[in-house]
Amino acid sequence: MFDIGFWELVLISVVALVVLGPERLPHAIRSVAKFVSTAKNMANSVKDELAHELKIQELQENLRKAEQMGMENLSPELKSSVDQLKQAAQDVQRPYANSSPSETKTEYDEQSVEVIPATTISSPETADKKADSSL
């Protein structure tokens, strides 16, 4: 990638040792390694997102082709794309189709709820200390 050879790395490490010193060099190496791993993770996530978007775009193009052909006499590739899209649509709708509106809405009793301030709630140990101090 950068076309750095072994002797260039040795020279860089000797200069880093002289400039940073033996106390700060391990911390600097850890910081650089952490930065490189973060950059790699970010690049991999961007690559995965791009691949996902390209697949979605390909599926949409195949669906358009299938719609233009009237969903008849489709090639196996187009049929599999249409089936994948149908399955994805069913998976998205399935969790919401099974639940009724009354299940998702939280219902409360018509009784009033008493709110107790946190200062009045005490543990048994603090209650014993208060009892002892009042004597």
Amino acid at 11: L
Contacts of residues 31-38 at CB distance under 8 Å and 24 or more positions apart, as own/partner, are none
Per-residue pLDDT, 130: 54
Residue partners of 84: CB distance under 8 A and separation at least 6: 59
Rounded to whole angstroms, how far apart are CA atoms 23 and 17?
9
Question: 69-125, pLDDT tens digit by residue?
Answer: 776 676 777 778 778 877 877 776 665 555 555 444 444 444 444 555 555 445 555
The per-residue pLDDT of the chain, averaged, comes to 75
> Given a cut of 80, is residue 21 above it in pLDDT?
yes
Around 122, how many Cα atoms within 13 Å sit in the side-chain half-sphere? 10
- Give the model confidence (pLDDT) of 67-85 as tens digits: 777 766 767 777 787 788 7
The residues near 65 (Cβ < 8 Å, ≥ 6 apart) are: 78
- Residue 72's SS3 state is coil
b/e string for 88-120 if b means 16 or more Cβ within 10 A?
Answer: eeeeeeeeeeeeeeeeeeeeeeeeeeeeeeeee
**Domain locations in the chain as residue ranges:** 7-87
In this prediction, residue 105 carries a pLDDT of 46
What pLDDT, in 10s, does the model give residues 43-71? 999 999 999 999 888 888 877 877 777 76
